[in-house]
Amino acid sequence: MSDTTPTVEHLTKLANLELPTDEQAALAAEFRRIIDFVDALRSAEVGEAQPTSQVTELENVYRADTVEPSVHARTLVETAPHQQGTYFRAPAVFGGQP
């Protein structure tokens, strides 16, 4: 048994999954390969390179938050095919008429 087997057992319990022992073993082996790959990345020589999370140097463009004229809610409701007072009427979720 590898040290990832208890992790697989814990994850399957959390996910409420029932995996046969052979599938748990296969999943543990896959986790081990992933962990080994991450360890290899950690040991890679990167020299003076600085960590980064964004490499394209794009920046967010912000605009001023301005209040603009809008359509009044009552006008919108009045244009609906079916309304009731100040509300839109829509068909029931399980059928029926609006």
> Does a structural domain hold residue 31?
yes
What's the rounded Cα separation, in Å, for the pair 14 and 84? 47
Start-to-end Cα distance in the chain: 62
**Diameter of the chain by CA atoms?**
69
> Does a structural domain hold residue 35?
yes
Q: How many domains does the chain have?
A: 1
User: Digits of tens for pLDDT over the chain (98 positions)?
Assistant: 456 778 888 988 999 999 898 998 899 999 999 999 999 999 888 888 888 877 788 888 888 889 989 888 888 888 888 888 888 888 888 866 65
- Count of alpha carbons within 13 angstroms of residue 59, beta-carbon side: 3
Give the domain extent around 24. 5-42
18: domain CATH number is: 1.10.20.60
> Does a structural domain hold residue 64?
no
> Does a structural domain hold residue 80?
no
CB 27 within 8 A of CB 19: yes
> Does a structural domain hold residue 29?
yes
46 by DSSP, 3-state: which? Answer: coil
> Does a structural domain hold residue 12?
yes
pTM of the complete model? 0.45
